[in-house]
A and B are shown apart, each in its own frame.
Chain A
């Protein structure tokens, strides 16, 4: 089926755009912008197409494409490493998410002046890595793209970031790369234990590994991928990294890249080592609960918009991990829904914060007051994101969190109670921020603030659309996700 070329295109379009930008002279910044926008729009269109083309009735892996890449040489047997792409109901919404966020992020980044060519090259390499990871059905290809997605972060933050950018960039890069060492080791162990000479994931999923092996190596994937998902106590890179990253990078990173970690736990953890997952999930759920609670409480006391959102991301990723750890259909459904929901919502947060910071050059929450009067549209977007984050019915967060809570109450009732309580804290810090910064008397210092720009508004409208879409009509998402989740090994009804 030719549909596989669609997935290949999602990887090749950003790489080709990056290649094209390499040879575009820096003295034509507008040509750079045009190429970037065209490429991002193409990626968005492709991702929508992938989401729509996924047949909910038939389930399984669809739009598959398989090319042998390296085989029958050295350690590699037949189909040793193959470009094997395909999406299931879990990956399809995440591909859509990536398409939405990259287009919104590109709109926001149009205003970058300093070396915008290099910026877009790195941004597109990152996106190619994200698309590749979500669609890979080969363990080598999965890890290859996983690392590609992390690779450009240092330069993106270091060159175009703000506020302690070198510290944030280095901390983020070293923690993420360090954690991938664990995944590396886990992959070596699985390949050796399987002994088939292939990295083909469906083949590896079909093998039954000894329980001792599963229990030993599951933590390698759980922690290795968990660091990228912001798992407590390895979340420290996240608030600092997000604070210093430029807007579009924060959007992509919190919106999409952190989901790669959770996605990795599904693909390499639950699907590869189900018995190990069963054994370790109680530990994960405890860590994830701390994640959610700690992130929310830390967010309560932040004075910087971006730091607050960074901690809020840690908290929301805690929900995702809690949902995964339930190992029941409702909980994992909720986790995947939350990945999408948090992706668009946090991207919207960072977009709004970026729009404010570029004018005000500060992100201190207490420094602002009554700015909703000057920027009503901007405030509207921001409030919508906030509402979605504490799960207002009718918005995406409600659908996702509701499923997670139901799943949690089935397996871990006490922790389910804590999770609901954390949602209340979320409401507290979001509303507190609105109360301080948005409403009340206008501080005369901000009398000159201008409304959010057109390009940024387009990006924000897209993200709002996604939040409403999922909140009001969740069935396209739920149908897709459910077909995949019910077939995960070791998942109870």
Chain B
């Protein structure tokens, strides 16, 4: 819950002051520089190499990087008027709240053609940059073909004994999974019945192991400590490619996505907006990123460029999209995050 995503946030917490090295964006107002901030690690490398660097080379822009995204730093920069972060990868519930508070630049639809994107992933201040799933992942040494394929089975510790891994972060799909397991129809999930979700979670609380980072998630799963994990499909796919005994089940997956935003007052905001305009139709770049990071592209046309064995592992391929439970409703989460996250902490501690 404290640490965000993709395994690197913790490392960055340990490396206090890493961002101080990257204050160059604001100082270099006149030159064409753009500072890109994402969740870090190999994923950030893949994103930047695939769809930021090629654009920058053509346009003579110097790309600076920082990591990972830190909402507190973003807010502090905007409030102090010293904005050095240009493109920032965020979670959709943050972009909704921050947009309302005036912390973000509005998207200029003259420059960024948002009509090529799924409108539910776009808001006034943000466009999506990738899609992924919160799905059932299983250890293939422990469970073969008869692994759980629904959340109801995932919660059935008698038929499928073993620990369950969940992300210790309340918007990570844990409540949604509990409600589906308890028989709530997928199209009636939101607004979430929080009480009911926690009651359902109580039934398996002793069997739950929480993970904080993507690395831990794969560790739990691959070691068999938690042979079933509510996972991020890309992480599991990468581990499977490296020969670890793990696999994704896409039935009843929840689709999630990340967005990119421009902090209010960034000196090179126009340049950042230009990049966004290029990105939404950069099919080659998005496809290249998917090959490198296993996150799904946001322009569906990019799917046509991808190989069948990669499509098999994407939540947005035609076959897997049909198995989807629902898209995480980040508008609901934006409104309810504070209260539900406090409730989650209470439940964890009780």
**A-B complex is real:** no
